[in-house]
Amino acid sequence: MPSNVVTRFAPSPTGYLHIGGARTALFNWLYARRFGGRMLLRIEDTDRERSTQGAIDAILDGMSWLGLDWDGEPVHQFARADRHREAAETLLGSGHAYRCFATAEELQQMRETARAEGRAPRYDGRWRDRDPSEAPAGAKPVIRLRAPTEGETAIDDAVQGRVTWQNRDLDDLVLLRSDGNPTYMLAVVVDDHDMGVTQVIRGDDHLTNAARQAQIYKALGWDVPAMAHIPLIHGADGAKLSKRHGALGVEAYRDLGYLPAALRNYLVRLGWSHGDQEVFSTDEMVAAFDLKAIGRSPARFDFAKLENLNGRYIRESDDTALVDAIQRIVPEPITPKLRENLVAAMPGLKERAKTLVELLDSAYYLTAARPLALDDKAKGLLGDDAKTRLGLVIPALEALEEWSATATEAEVRKFAEAQGLKLGQIAQPLRAALTGRATSPPLFDVMAVLGREESLARLRDQITQ
C-alpha cells in the first residue's frame, strides 16, 4: 500500500560510493520499500572544488549494480542554490536570521580567545542585535541563524534515543556566506523539506548537524523529519574503517567478484539484526527491516564473513546466471562455445569458489590454450614416474567407447587397481595435465566437460614434452 514515507540517500560526489555509503543507501532503500514509500536520491554537490561528474557516475553505477533503485530523477543540490538563498531571505524577514559583518580577524580573535580559555570556539553573537547601518562601509555580510540561547534542542532519534543539546552551546551558524552561497547546513534542511523527506537515515557523524538542522527547521516553521543516525562501520580491529580494512568503492567489490545480492545481504547485517538470521533474500530483508533493530555500537567489517556469504550465494546461484556475472567482470566477450563449457562445468566449479574471480580462476582449464602452462604445484605432480603412469593410462582412455564422467572414472579406477596404485597417484597427474593446477573441480567432470579430443591431447602434451 503506498504511504507517505519518503527517505533519501544524499551522497557527496567527492569520491566513489564507499561501503559505508552503500549501507546507508541500502537502509534507506529498505525502509522505503518496507513501508511502501519512496527513496529519493540527492547529489550533494555544493562543494564545487571536490565534486566531480566521475564521482556522480560512480555513485549511480554502484547503486544500480547493488540493485538499489531510487524514485524519480536525482536532485542536484547545487542547482537549488536560489531556493536556498530564498529560505535565508525568509528567515531574515521573519527575524530568525541576521546579517553579520564580523571580519575574518574578529572571528580569528574569537577562536583564539576560546582556545586560550579552553572552550570550544563559538561565534559570540556580536551582530545579533546590532543595526546593519553600523556596518563598515563595503563590508559583505554573512547571514546567520538567530539561534535560541536558552533551553535545549532535542532529537528523538530512532537509533540513538533522545539526544539533547544545550542551546547555549550552539552558536549562530552561518546560513549564507558573504559570496551569497548557501551553507551545507541550510541546503540540507531546505532540500529535505522540499523533497518531502519524512525519515532521515544517515551516519552518526551527522548527529551534531541534526541539532543545528533542527534549529533551522524550527525557525522556518517546518516539521523536523524523523531521524535515525546509524553507527559508522569499523574495521575488524575496532578502528574506524579505512581503505586498509576494505573501505573500497562498491565497484572494487564488483571487480573482486562479489555478487550484488551477497553484498546486500552482508551490508544489511552490518549494524542491523533480526534474531540470529544471517541469510536474507531481498524480500525477507524488506519484510523484516526496522530501525529499532539497528544497534548503537559500530559494526565491524569482516572480509572473511563477506567471502563466506558470497561463496554461499555463488553455490546457490543458477549456472547460467554465474556465467553472465563473470561476463560482467571480464573484458573479453565469452564465446558461445566457452559459455556452453562454462555452464556445463559450473556445478563442479561453484562448489569451492568464494568469489567470481576464484570461479574464473578455477575455470582456467576451460580457456587455457595448449600446451597448458602448469603452475608450480602442478609441475611438482608431473615428475618422471607420474609421466610414465600417464603414458600408460592414455591408451586405456583412448580405447573407451563412451566418453563420460562415469566411463572415465571406471576406467581410471580399473587402471589404478591393475597397476597397484592408489587412485591419487594417477588422478593427481591427470589433474595436473588436464587443468594445469593441483586443485580443480572434480577430475572426471573436467574430463567430461573438456571432451575426449581435448582431454587426450592435453595428456599427450605432457608426456611428449
Output the known binding site.
243
User: Binding to ligand GLU by residue 260, rule CB under 6 A?
Assistant: no
User: Binding to ligand GLU by residue 267, rule CB under 6 A?
Assistant: no
User: Binding to ligand GLU by residue 249, rule CB under 6 A?
Assistant: no
User: Binding to ligand GLU by residue 202, rule CB under 6 A?
Assistant: yes
> Could you tell me the smallest distance in angstroms from the CB atom of residue 55 to ligand GLU?
11
User: Binding to ligand GLU by residue 311, rule CB under 6 A?
Assistant: no
Among 6, 22, 25, 44, binds ligand GLU (CB under 6 A): 44
> Could you tell me the smallest distance in angstroms from the CB atom of residue 192 to ligand GLU?
7
Gap between the Cα atoms of 339 and 328, Å rounded: 13
C-alpha cell at 361: 580462476
Please identify, among the stretches 10-18, 253-261, 347-355, 397-405, the one whose residues bind ligand GLU according to the rule CB under 6 A: 10-18
- Cβ proximity to ligand GLU, 12 vs 425, nearer residue: 12
Please identify, among the stretches 6-14, 97-105, 372-380, 414-422, the one whose residues bind ligand GLU according to the rule CB under 6 A: 6-14
- Cβ proximity to ligand GLU, 11 vs 441, nearer residue: 11
Please identify, among the stretches 8-16, 142-150, 297-305, 369-377, the one whose residues bind ligand GLU according to the rule CB under 6 A: 8-16
Q: What is the dihedral of CA 439, 441, 445, 449, to 10 degrees?
A: -100
> Could you tell me the smallest distance in angstroms from the CB atom of residue 349 to ligand GLU?
39
User: Binding to ligand GLU by residue 263, rule CB under 6 A?
Assistant: no
User: Binding to ligand GLU by residue 206, rule CB under 6 A?
Assistant: yes
Total residues binding ligand GLU (CB under 6 A)? 7
Q: What are phi and psi of 176, to 5 degrees?
A: -130, 130
Which uninterrupted H or E stretch holds 118?
Answer: none
- Cβ proximity to ligand GLU, 65 vs 184, nearer residue: 184
CB atoms within 10 A of CB 410: 13
Print the binding letters for residues 412-451 with ligand GLU: x by CB under 6 A, - otherwise: ----------------------------------------
Which uninterrupted H or E stretch holds 52?
Answer: none
Strands 226-230 and 199-203: parallel
User: Binding to ligand GLU by residue 233, rule CB under 6 A?
Assistant: no
Which uninterrupted H or E stretch holds 409?
Answer: helix 405-419
Which uninterrupted H or E stretch holds 165?
Answer: strand 161-166
> Could you tell me the smallest distance in angstroms from the CB atom of residue 184 to ligand GLU?
8
Q: What single-letter amino acid sits at 265?
A: N
Residue nearest to ligand GLU (CB): 202
- Cβ proximity to ligand GLU, 24 vs 265, nearer residue: 24
CA distance readout (Å), 331 to 255, 320, 326, 350, 362? 11, 18, 10, 21, 18
Gap between the Cα atoms of 190 and 18, Å rounded: 26
Among 12, 90, 308, 367, binds ligand GLU (CB under 6 A): 12
> Could you tell me the smallest distance in angstroms from the CB atom of residue 295 to ligand GLU?
20
How far from chain centre, in Å, is Cα 85?
34
Q: Which residues are catalytic?
A: 243
Gap between the Cα atoms of 366 and 338, Å rounded: 7
User: Binding to ligand GLU by residue 191, rule CB under 6 A?
Assistant: no
C-alpha cell at 249: 568503492
- Cβ proximity to ligand GLU, 44 vs 358, nearer residue: 44
Please identify, among the stretches 5-13, 58-66, 113-121, 299-307, the one whose residues bind ligand GLU according to the rule CB under 6 A: 5-13
> Could you tell me the smallest distance in angstroms from the CB atom of residue 188 to ligand GLU?
5
Task: Give me the residue label for grid cell 529535505.
Answer: 192
CA distance readout (Å), 361 to 356, 368, 436? 8, 11, 11
- 3-state class (DSSP) for residue 44: coil
CA distance readout (Å), 219 to 59, 107, 210? 33, 24, 14
Binding region for ATP = 243
Among 5, 6, 7, 11, binds ligand GLU (CB under 6 A): 11
> Could you tell me the smallest distance in angstroms from the CB atom of residue 247 to ligand GLU?
14
- DSSP characters for 231-290? PPEE-TTSSBP-GGGT--BHHHHHHTT--HHHHHHHHHTTTB-STT-----HHHHHHH--
Q: What is the dihedral of CA 154, 159, 120, 12, to 10 degrees?
A: -110
Among 5, 25, 30, 188, binds ligand GLU (CB under 6 A): 188
User: Binding to ligand GLU by residue 235, rule CB under 6 A?
Assistant: no
Among 5, 6, 7, 10, binds ligand GLU (CB under 6 A): 10
- Cβ proximity to ligand GLU, 18 vs 350, nearer residue: 18
- Cβ proximity to ligand GLU, 189 vs 325, nearer residue: 189
Please identify, among the stretches 4-12, 308-316, 375-383, 412-420, the one whose residues bind ligand GLU according to the rule CB under 6 A: 4-12
Contacts of 419-425 spanning 24+ positions with Cβ under 8 A: 419/389, 419/392, 421/389, 425/386, 425/389
Residues that bind ligand GLU (CB under 6 A): 10-12, 44, 188, 202, 206
